[in-house]
Structure 1
Amino acid sequence: MDLVVGRIVRAHGIRGEVTVNILSDQPELRFVPGAKLGAGARSLVIKNLRWHGPRLLVTFEGVADRTAAEALRGTSLVADIPDDEELDDPDEFFDHQLAGLRAELADGELIGEVTEVLHLPMQDVLAVRMPTGREVLVPFVASIVPVVDVAAGRLVVEPPEGLFDEANQ
């Protein structure tokens, strides 16, 4: 299964290094020398990496200069993970585990279906497609999504007032 684990932000320096925005809760597993990551139609192999303050700087095999690094700007980095891999924390989930879940209120009323997990700078957000076809963005925080039951194929949403009102869309 493919999992987006990062996005190349920009080139750093003149020797092919790039700044990577990490989208994985397990960067220590995904970003190691020798790791092979999908990058669109090609694969990139991590040659070297280092932390520069809060930023991860990565050098890939075959990317030797700034021009080659700049060509990768905006590229999503995808790791191939086993279908049965699980996270250590029971309150964390892979995106593929959440996509397709039935979103419902505490009383069981159907709200819609989770179509995507968006990793935004401040927090993760669930894109929920309502039966009408309208999409609503639901902050993925415990106070709003208190129950996630992957085995049962559902999650419970306790929306703040107005989240699902037509006027707010």
Structure 2
Amino acid sequence: MSRTTDVASEKNQLRVGRLLKAHGLKGAFKLELYTDNPERRFVPGAEFTLQVPEASAWHGKTVTIREYRVMNGNSVVFLDGIDDRSAAETLVRAILWMDEDDEVEDDAWYSHQLIGLDVVRDDVVLGQILRVEHMPAQDLLIVKTDTAEVMVPFVEAIVPSVDIAAGRVIVTPPPGLFEELPAPDAAASDDTSAASD
């Protein structure tokens, strides 16, 4: 699940799902969830703004939920006005956004809460979060360091702790994410010279 839920816009919105692929012949979609509360979000009549390419006929439009089900362990959604597979195919990969509400989901933050936070590894500040980029697979924290902008996957393995009150996120990045690793040739030649001594 995505760990952030909104996009910078005139009003904050929650990113709650993505239409993965058409399901069956009656216009249903398999749904990738970006919310912990699908039964609350995808109620009949709920309206969503679509994130689709500008060239799409759906750009700038909204859709309304007709029905939400769990089928064989998969979240499936039906939308008003989408009644067959060919119509559904025109919306595959669309991301669904809804107006922000007061509910805070577990392990999720709004992008505006994260921007400006210190990024800390082993009690050392590496930089600050400049922005959040929402990608289909996961979100990326764009961290401004003294020398560069670093893209940090916003997953629990790399960003295990977010402390909004303290103004920081704790990171446990893999080697090389924030610093250049020595070239393998240099390490090998060091070993060789040590062996010849």
Distance between the aligned counterparts of 2:116 and 2:17, measured in 1?
22
- Which shows bigger deviation, 67-76 or 8-17? 8-17
Q: Secondary structure at the match of 1:109?
A: strand
Distance between the aligned counterparts of 2:133 and 2:72, measured in 1?
27
Distance between the aligned counterparts of 1:150 and 1:33, measured in 2?
34
Structure 2 vs 1, CA of residues 55 and 126 (structure 1 numbering), >3 Å: closer, same or farther? Answer: same
Q: Is 1:148 the equivalent of 2:162?
A: yes
Structure 2 vs 1, CA of residues 68 and 146 (structure 1 numbering), >3 Å: closer, same or farther? Answer: closer
User: Residue in 1 aligned with 2:61?
Assistant: 42
Q: Shift of the alpha carbon at 1:80?
A: 1.0
Q: Secondary structure at the match of 2:108?
A: coil
Query: Given the two structures, how large is their TM-score scaled by the length of structure 1?
Result: 0.78
The aligned length equals 161
Distance between the aligned counterparts of 1:27 and 1:105, measured in 2?
34
Structure 2 vs 1, CA of residues 138 and 62 (structure 1 numbering), >3 Å: closer, same or farther? Answer: closer
Partner of residue 104 from structure 1, selected from 94, 98, 120: 120
Q: Shift of the alpha carbon at 1:26?
A: 1.9
Q: Shift of the alpha carbon at 1:146?
A: 4.5
Structure 2 vs 1, CA of residues 148 and 47 (structure 1 numbering), >3 Å: closer, same or farther? Answer: same
Q: Shift of the alpha carbon at 1:32?
A: 1.6
Tell me the C-alpha RMSD between the 2 structures: 2.7
Structure 2 vs 1, CA of residues 108 and 167 (structure 1 numbering), >3 Å: closer, same or farther? Answer: closer
More strand by share: 1
Q: Secondary structure at the match of 2:165?
A: coil
